[in-house]
Structure 1
Amino acid sequence: MRADAKKNYDHLLAVAREVVKEQGADASLRDVARRADVGLGTLYRHFPTREALLEALLRTGLDDMTAQASALETSSAPDDALVTWLRDAVAFTRNYHGITALMIAALDDPKSALHASCVTVRAAGTRLLTRAQAEGKARSDIDGTELFALIAALAWLGDQPSIGQRADHLFEIVTSAILTRRRSSPRRSS
């Protein structure tokens, strides 16, 4: 990629990241182009579809989550590794309102631009879950797909104005239900 094209690409991604954080996964692509001070054609040259733009936005974060899971596999106790990764995964998905539905759909759609990244991150979480299960730290009747669904549910719950303030408490309840020997933290008054 030429230097000027790379600069435009990076600038579009930076602007798109902010617009998607503000407006969610259905953010206006016209707003992205306008705020980036480029024509809509320039945006579409770099990102021919909304999904291609979202995949580019999410790829780095999903790759980081995959790498984090690998590091946690060897550096932390199985239950602590799983909870740490889950907390960070929920935080990541909450950064982009509405993205969880697209990520869940991408798991079953090999043609989706998000498919490979979502499958890879689900596999990383599954490895952490399997390790915790093998050590008797996590219940055995949950799999990686269900774990991924719980991340989506927790992210959605955190986005709801009426219960968002209880997101941390709800996270503790869910992790206590996944893990076999973990107590939830004392409830804070809200």
Structure 2
Amino acid sequence: MEDGKRKPRRDALENHARLITAARDVLGKGGPGASLEAVARQAGLGVGTLYRHFPHREALFHAVYRADLEQVVAGAEALEAHDDPLEGLRAWLHANVAVVETKRGLLGALSVALTEDARASYADLSQRLRLAVDRLLNQGAARGKLRADVRADDLIETMYAFCYAHPPGPDWRQQVLRRLDIFVDGLRAQPSGR
């Protein structure tokens, strides 16, 4: 290889992915105090393997958060292929609510580990997310389907506001989705006389 680095082995990549999947679940339920041994156990791997991939707890938190954020960004970037921009946004927002629901505990863990430098490391993903959502909003407005005065930040901030305005409980998801649907319906372009 030109840069002197070897490509990671397939089993190492698989172990990395298994650890992130397990950590998403364990940290999502247990928050910042969740056991890293439980993460390794759920992944079917030893603790030594976990520490080879993630030398400290915060590294694991960041890896899970980055993987989730990349999933959200990929979903936003795929929106352009949707026939109906309004329904594309609705589906994307609903998928994001599911992500928030599973990572409530992880967000507590991240609040401990999220320094300014760490926040800056997510700037590229945040920018990609805003650009993708703005592209869809602009396309929808150009086609007369969506309001022209809505930006990505409006959408993202409203989604998170709805997610955190209602306390966790058995009807949390239903309430958040119902409110988001009302909001999304309000994004529809209005006839010019209104």
User: TM-score range, shorter-chain basis?
Assistant: 0.5 to 0.7
Structure 1 residues without counterparts, runs of 5 or longer = 182-190
Q: Could you tell me how far apart the structure 1 residues matched to 2:106 and 2:136 are? A: 23
Percent same amino acid among aligned pairs?
33
Aligned residue pairs total 178
From 105, 121, 133, give the equivalent of 1:125. 133
Cα distance change on mapping 1:80 and 1:22 into 2, 3 Å: same
The residue number in structure 2 matching 1:179 is 188
TM-score, structure 2 as length reference: 0.66
From 69, 72, 76, give the equivalent of 2:79. 72
Q: Could you tell me how far apart the structure 2 residues matched to 1:138 and 1:52 are? A: 40
The answer to which structure, 1 or 2, has the higher relative contact order (CA under 8 A, 6+ apart) is: 2
Cα distance change on mapping 1:65 and 1:76 into 2, 3 Å: farther
From 77, 86, 96, give the equivalent of 1:89. 96
The structural deviation recorded for 1:7 is 5.0
Q: Could you tell me how far apart the structure 2 residues matched to 1:124 and 1:29 are? A: 35
Q: Could you tell me how far apart the structure 2 residues matched to 1:62 and 1:120 are? A: 10
CA RMSD of aligned residues (A): 3.6
- The one-letter code sitting in structure 2 at the alignment partner of 1:87 is H
Structure 2 residues without counterparts, runs of 5 or longer = 1-7
Q: Deviations over 1:51-95 (max 9, x none)?
A: 532343344444344333333313312222222222222222222
The 5-angstrom pairing of residues 7-86 of structure 1 reads: 8-24=15-31, 27-29=34-36, 31-33=38-40, 38-39=46-47, 42-86=49-93
Q: Deviations over 1:18-57 (max 9, x none)?
A: 2023224664445435655633x65343224545323433
